Amino acid sequence: MSRPAAADVVSLFNDNPSWAPGFQAAGSRLRPLSGFRLAPRAVPNVSNYQQIVRMSAQTGSTTDLIKWWNGYRLRDIARAGILADVTDAWDEAARRGWSDDTALRSTFTYEGKQYGVPLYKSYYVVFYSRPAFKRLGVDVPTTWQQFLDVVDAAHAKGITPISSGGATSWESLIWFQQLVNGLDHRFYQELTAGRASYTDDVCRRAMALWSDLYRRGAFSAPDAQTTDLPAQFTQGTTAMCLYGTWNTGAFLDNGVKDADLGAFLLPPPPGGARSVIVESGVLAVSANAHKLDAAHAVARAWLNPSVQTAWSGFLRDTSADPGVVPNVGTVRQVAAQVRRERPTQAIRYWEASPPVLIEGNVQELSAFMINPTRAQATKTLTNMQHRADKEWKVWTS
Amino acid sequence: MDVLTPADPAASRTRPRRSHALVHDPRSERRRAAVWVGAFLTPAVALILLLLLAPFLITAWRSLFDDNGVTARFVGLSNYIALFSDPDFGRSLLNTVLWVVGTLVLPVLLGLLLAVLTHSVRWGAAARTAVVIPYALSGSATALLWTFLLKTDGAVNQTLNAVGLGGLQQEWLLHWPMNTLVMIVATTWQATGASLILFLIGLQTIPSETIEAARLDGAQGFQLFLRVILPQLRPMTVVVVGMSIVNSLKTFDIVWLLTQGGPGTASETLALTMYRQTFTLNRYGYGAAVSVVLTVVVVAASWLYLRRQVQQRSGEGV
| A338 vs B29 pLDDT, higher one | A338
Q: Where are the domains of chain B?
A: 9-47, 78-317
Taking residues B252-265, what's their average pLDDT? 90
| Domains of chain A and any CATH numbers | 9-120+280-322 (3.40.190.10), 122-277+349-396 (3.40.190.10)
The DSSP 8-state label assigned to residue A260 in this structure reads: G
Q: How many other C-beta atoms are found inside a 10 Å radius of the C-beta of residue B163?
A: 9
As a 3-state breakdown, chain A gives helix, strand, coil percent values, each rounded to 5, of 50, 15, 30
Please report the pLDDT score of residue A51 as a whole number.
85
Of the candidates B18, B13, B40, B42, the residue with the CA atom closest to the CA atom of residue B28: B18
Q: Do A250 and A316 touch, CB atoms closer than 8 A?
A: no
pTM: 0.85
Average pLDDT of chain A is 94
pLDDT band of residue B24 (cuts 50, 70, 90) is low
Residue B68 pLDDT class (50, 70, 90 cuts): confident
Query: Got the DSSP string for A236-253?
Result: TSEEEEEEEGGGHHHHHH
CA distances from A149 to A97, A136, A146, A270, A274 (A): 42, 11, 5, 14, 19
Which residues in chain B are contacts of A47 at CB distance < 8 A? 279-280
Whether A351 and A70 have beta carbons less than 8 Å apart is answered as yes
- Mean of pLDDT values over B172-185: 94
Higher pLDDT, A389 or B226: A389
Residue A367: list chain B partners with CB under 8 A: 262-264, 266
Q: Which residues of B touch A48 (CB under 8 A)?
A: 279
Facing residue for B280 by CB, picked from A220, A359, A366: A359
Q: Smallest Cα–Cα separation from A64: which of A92, A89, A37?
A: A37
Residues A54, B70: C-beta atoms closer than 8 Å: yes
Distances (CA, A) of B252 to A250, B158, B274: 30, 28, 10
Question: What confidence score (pLDDT) does residue B315 get?
Answer: 54
Lowest mean pLDDT, pick from A182-191, A281-290, A323-332, B25-34: B25-34
pLDDT in tens, A269-278: 999 999 999 9
Chain A closest-CA separation from residue B276 CA (Å):
9
What is the band of B8 on the pLDDT scale with cuts at 50, 70, 90? very low
pLDDT reported for residue B122: 81
* pLDDT of B308 above 90: no
DSSP state of A353: S
How, if at all, do strands A65-69 and A9-14 pair? parallel
Residue A44 — very low, low, confident or very high, per pLDDT cuts 50/70/90?
confident
CB-based contact, A55 to chain B, within 8 Å? yes
Q: Concatenated DSSP letters for A123-140? A: EEEEEEEHHHHHHHT---
Beta bridge partners of A240: A128, A162
- DSSP bridge partners of A74: none
Please report which confidence band the pLDDT of residue B123 belongs to, taking 50, 70 and 90 as the band edges: confident
What pLDDT does B246 receive?
Answer: 87
Q: From the CA of A278, how many Å to the nearest CA of chain B?
A: 23
Q: For B77-105, what is the mean pLDDT?
A: 92
The percent of residues above 70 in pLDDT, for chain B, comes to: 90
Contacts of B266 in chain A (CB under 8 A): 367
Q: What is the mean pLDDT of residues B252-270?
A: 91
Query: Per-residue pLDDT tens for B144-160?
Result: 999 999 999 899 999 99
Counting one residue from A and one from B, how many pairs have CB atoms under 8 Å apart?
74
Q: Considering only alpha carbons, which residue of chain B is nearest residue A356? A: B281
Residue B279 forms contact with A (CB below 8 Å): yes
| Secondary structure (3-state) at A219 | strand
Q: B259: which chain A residues are within 8 Å (Cβ-Cβ)?
A: 168
Of A278-282, A391-395, B267-271, B307-311, least confident by mean pLDDT is B307-311
Q: Is B281 on the interface with A (CB under 8 A)?
A: yes
pLDDT at B311: 66
Interface test with B, best of A46, A159, A232, A370 (most B CBs within 10 A): A370
Statement: residue B22 has pLDDT above 70: no
Q: How far is CA A218 from CA A222, B153, B164, B167, in A?
A: 11, 16, 25, 21
pLDDT digits (tens, 9 = 90+) for A62-94: 899 999 999 999 999 999 899 999 999 999 999
Instruction: Please tell me which residue of chain A has the smallest CA distance to B173.
Output: A223
Chain A contact for B170, CB < 8 A? no
Nearest to A266 by CA among A198, A349, A332, A177: A177
With CB atoms and an 8 Å threshold, state whether B263 touches A168.
Answer: yes
Q: Do A167 and B263 touch (CB under 8 A)?
A: yes
pLDDT for res A24: 95
pLDDT per residue as tens digits for the range B199-250: 999 998 999 899 889 888 888 888 888 889 999 998 899 889 988 998 899 8
pLDDT tier, B27 (very low <50, low <70, confident <90, very high otherwise): confident
Domain B78-317 has CATH 3.30.365.10: no
ipTM for the complex shown: 0.79
Residue B314's pLDDT band (boundaries 50, 70, 90)?
low
Instruction: Using pLDDT thresholds of 50, 70 and 90, give the confidence band for residue B76.
Output: very high
